[in-house]
Amino acid sequence: MNRDGMDEKSIESILTDLKSKDTPYERVLSSMCTYPHPVAVMAHAQFIEANLGDPGLFAGTAEIEREVVRMLGTMYGTSDAHGHITTGGTESNIQAIHAIRNARNLREPNIIVPESAHFSFDKVADVLKVTVQKAELDSDLKVDLSSVEDLINDNTIGIVGIAGTTEFGQIDPIRALSDLALSENVFLHVDAAFGGFVIPFLPDRNKHGRGREYEFDFTLPGVTSLASDPHKMGFSTIPTGGLLFRNSSYLNRLSVDTPYLTVASQQTLTGTRSGASAAAAYAVFKHLGRDGYAQIVHRCMDVTHELVARVRKFGIEPLIDPVMNVVALDVPDCKQVRSELAKRGWIVSITRKPCALRIVIMPHLTSENMRLFTDDLCDVMRTG
Ligand code: 0PR
């Protein structure tokens, strides 16, 4: 650290230079984050010093967090959700399984996650010392129910379904997992870190509304907890995750005494927590409302379908028809194609198994820049 303080202007100029090295989102087709909504940025700045780790000092911010949890709960089928704001899907997944582990208290507990689960479940295994068994996927890249059934044993404490897989944007059969969880008396955690702000707003597939296949939340009786991230498709600021439990008994399993704080106990993994995140989520929920979110999701889905239609003309197929705004394109040598695209300034990612070119069509991607992208993709495929 420099000994003498530097003036604000010089610092700002250094920061501007450093920021110019960051990739602008318009070229990023691999991220599940995007520009936060300006209303979220405004609220974030307003609550910048608020610490939800000691909520007695920040009664207004604590009220905001309760309201965010309530709004999330009603979006996911319960008027009585219990939970808190986290730093994102990783923390939510860790704490959900942490609660389940504490509730069951077995010597060698295991959980079952789909092969498509986010790598945060590898962290769950490491941090919580819970064995994470991976169930196979079916040909639609949803978790194969019989594989989950086969893996359940006396030490199984919970199963996980993904509502919006990171790599394929697929939605696991959560109703069937819910039935299974109830019949096997195990917990069901739904990882809707990404899909939580997409699935409720997908265009109706038919005049009967949301298809049964998209049931994924607390309306299903076996679902015990759910992760949904406002900092992804919710347009809140980073970091804003949401962790919800069906009832408070699960959350209570995470309590530790905090006698010298303004509250007697804490159920969160982190101590000091951003009140700014809570305010940002609150502000953007209020500002956009369900209709605002639906409009944005519909636009992303339109761009997604346009992209798929265009690449199909060049003989490139997606692994599955798009369910959400995540597409995995079946291209040979996808690693090579990825690096060729990077040379042209496009940042895409790849999936693990099967290896495909993965594109997340976030709101920062317009029809126009996706057209430019598909031209480049097809050119790269032609010229090798
Ligand atoms: N669960 C699912 C289904 C996810 O997709 C993700 C993140 C997580 C959990 C973990 O969430 P946090 O990263 O908030 O802890 N999915 C993206 C991924 O890992 C996150 C991401 C975002 C990656 C922006 C890259 C990026 O530029 O691919």
Residue 204 is predicted with a pLDDT of 74
The encoded tokens of residue 297 equal 């999701």
The residues spanned by each domain of the chain are: 8-36+289-383, 38-286
Region class of 57: left (phi > 0), else alpha (psi between -120 and 50), else beta: alpha
Query: Please, is 1 exposed, middle or buried when counting C-beta atoms within 10 Å of its C-beta (0-12, 13-18, 19+)?
Result: exposed
Residue 305 pLDDT > 70: yes
Mean pLDDT estimate for the chain: 96
Ligand 1 within 6 A of 351 CB? no
Residue 76 is predicted with a pLDDT of 97
For 38-286, CATH number out of 3.30.1330.10, 3.40.50.2300, 1.10.3470.10, 3.40.640.10 equals 3.40.640.10
Residue 190 is predicted with a pLDDT of 98
Residues 6 or more apart in contact with residue 79 via CB below 8 angstroms: 70, 73
The residue whose C-alpha atom lies closest to atom 17 belonging to ligand 1 is 32
Residues 75-89: what's their mean pLDDT? 97
Residues 278-300: what's their mean pLDDT? 97
Q: In this prediction, what percent of the chain has a pLDDT beyond 90?
A: 96
**Ligand 1, residues 118, 171, 235: which to mutate, most atoms within 8 A of Cβ?**
118
Residue 205 is predicted with a pLDDT of 54
The residue whose C-alpha atom lies closest to atom 26 belonging to ligand 1 is 31
Q: Which atom of ligand 1 is nearest to the CA of 89?
A: 11
Ligand 1 center from residue 166 Cα (angstroms): 7
Ligand 1 within 6 A of 95 CB? no
Residue 308 pLDDT > 80: yes
Residues 247-256: what's their mean pLDDT? 94
Global pTM exceeds 0.95:
yes
3-state DSSP helix/strand/coil % of the chain, to nearest 5 = 45, 15, 40
Q: Which atom of ligand 1 is nearest to the CA of 195?
A: 3
Ligand 1 within 6 A of 147 CB? no
> Which residue in this structure is represented by tokens 């798009």?
322
Ligand 1 center from residue 363 Cα (angstroms): 16
Residue 213 is predicted with a pLDDT of 55
Ligand 1 within 6 A of 32 CB? yes
Residues 96-109: what's their mean pLDDT? 96
Task: Please state, in angstroms and rounded to a whole number, the distance separating the CA atoms of residues 152 and 180.
Answer: 10
Which superfamily is assigned to 8-36+289-383 in CATH? Aspartate Aminotransferase, domain 1 (3.90.1150.10)
Residue 53 pLDDT > 80: yes
Closest C-alpha among 185, 220, 222 to residue 199: 220
Task: Please state, in angstroms and rounded to a whole number, the distance separating the CA atoms of residues 340 and 266.
Answer: 49
Region class of 235: left (phi > 0), else alpha (psi between -120 and 50), else beta: left
Ligand 1 center from residue 258 Cα (angstroms): 31
Closest C-alpha among 156, 197, 179 to residue 289: 197
